[in-house]
Amino acid sequence: MRDEIYRFPIDGRPARCDEIRSGHVNTTYLITTDTGARYILQNVNTYAFPRTYVIMDNISAISLYLAGKSGEKSAMISYIDTLDGERYYDDGQGGAWRIYRFVENSICLDRAACDEDFCECARAFGKFQNSLVGFPAEKLGETIVDFHNTPVRYRQLREAAEADVCGRLEGVREELAFVLEREEKAFRLQRMRDSGELPVRVTHNDTKINNVLFDADTRKAICVIDLDTVMPGLSAYDFGDAIRFGASTAAEDEKDLDKVELDLHLFRVFARGFLEACPSLTEKEIACLPLGAYTMTIECGSRFLADYLKGDKYFSIDYPAQNLDRARTQFKLIRDMEKKWDEMQRIIEEERKKLL
């Protein structure tokens, strides 16, 4: 049993603790008490998220905002304060712990089993973003400074390559050149954000389908979870990351790159659900959605590659070259997006017109 659970107000006495193996960053446990109550206990990775207090302040702020809006309470889960009234428990050894009540009769999906699953995922993230359209994004802190600042991510990759602390550079020169050759297009979203061409919103920034809770019976989305990266951002970030992960035909660490493509049908399915659930998007934002998919994919690939060069400090791994495999799948997906670019833009325009 994790002793940290005793720092929180729970129903009954802890009777069982099961680790949930999902996600690349935090460690998660399912705690069951002798009364049958169940809770999710998480150890926040403070290497990845050193500003834990910012995370929990952000979550508290948007929870209060959504609680005050009729019909919006299901947009996200709410964490439980410690017995001392703190938003998380600091164990004094670099560990930050938090809990929320387990949502009964809910499931998480690693992949969409059907089109409707993926469309529901799109609706969940679109609803989350649309529900917070009136919230002043500038009031949120950056849980990871420059998280989706692609020029900064490129700089970090160059620094990792230059330092080459693990002696891995020689084996990834082809991958490094691939990223650097696409710098101009990769930087476009950030330049539009800097110039004010695109509005800054409250965004989730980690829009994989396993960050949506589904009703086990109806398969309808209940709420979004994993709110560590909620902060100011662009709508294209959330759309793009979901496409990067969910519309790929292969797993994120697939070794056989011939299996990795962008599924245009799934691209359309997600676009339809996202646009339906987020009617507040501007024309410019809608037009930039394909660029969001491109940018999030190459940015994520560069982060996997940088972490591999640094010795796998950020993303958890199950074998030594996993982050390199992850980077290579992202770069193969980019190649396929480049081939299908016109079709991606056409699909977005067709789905936009259906809603007029």
Tens digit of each residue's pLDDT (9 = 90 or more) over 120-141: 999 999 999 999 999 999 999 9
Q: Specify the higher pLDDT residue, 279 or 66.
A: 279
Task: Kindly list the distances between the CA atom of residue 158 and the CA atoms of 79, 190, 194, 234, 329, in Å, as whole numbers in the listed order.
Answer: 38, 18, 22, 25, 20
CA-CA distance, 159 to 140, in Å (whole number)? 29
Which one, of 266, 247, 220, 221, lies nearest residue 128 by Cα?
A: 221
Q: Are 122 and 207 in contact (CB under 8 A)?
A: no
Which one, of 257, 317, 311, 251, lies nearest residue 23 by Cα?
A: 317
Mean local confidence (pLDDT), 295-317: 95
With vertex at residue 285, the alpha carbon angle to CA 281 and CA 291, rounded to the nearest 5 degrees, is 140
Instruction: Give the pLDDT confidence score for residue 24 in this predicted structure.
Output: 63
Residues 216-258: tens digit of each pLDDT: 999 999 999 888 899 999 999 999 999 999 999 999 999 999 9
List alpha helices for 247-321, DSSP H: 264-277, 283-287, 289-310
CA-CA distance, 118 to 303, in Å (whole number)? 25
Q: Catalogue all structural domains in the chain, each as residue range(s) with its CATH number.
A: 3-102 (3.30.200.20), 115-354 (3.90.1200.10)
Instruction: Give the pLDDT confidence score for residue 202 in this predicted structure.
Output: 95
Instruction: Give the pLDDT confidence score for residue 64 in this predicted structure.
Output: 84
Instruction: Give the pLDDT confidence score for residue 1 in this predicted structure.
Output: 67
72 pLDDT above the threshold of 60: no
Instruction: Give the pLDDT confidence score for residue 155 in this predicted structure.
Output: 98
User: Token pair of 1, please?
Assistant: 């049993």
Share of the chain above pLDDT 70, in %: 97
Confidence of residue 47 (pLDDT cuts 50, 70, 90): confident
CA-CA distance, 261 to 57, in Å (whole number)? 39
Instruction: Give the pLDDT confidence score for residue 69 in this predicted structure.
Output: 72
CA-CA distance, 43 to 15, in Å (whole number)? 19
DSSP label at 146?
Answer: T
CA-CA distance, 236 to 186, in Å (whole number)? 13
CA-CA distance, 284 to 207, in Å (whole number)? 21
User: Token pair of 180, please?
Assistant: 């650097």
What's the pTM value of the predicted model, to 2 decimals? Answer: 0.88
Instruction: Give the pLDDT confidence score for residue 242 in this predicted structure.
Output: 97
Which distant-in-sequence residues (6+ apart) come within 8 Å of 350 by Cβ?
none
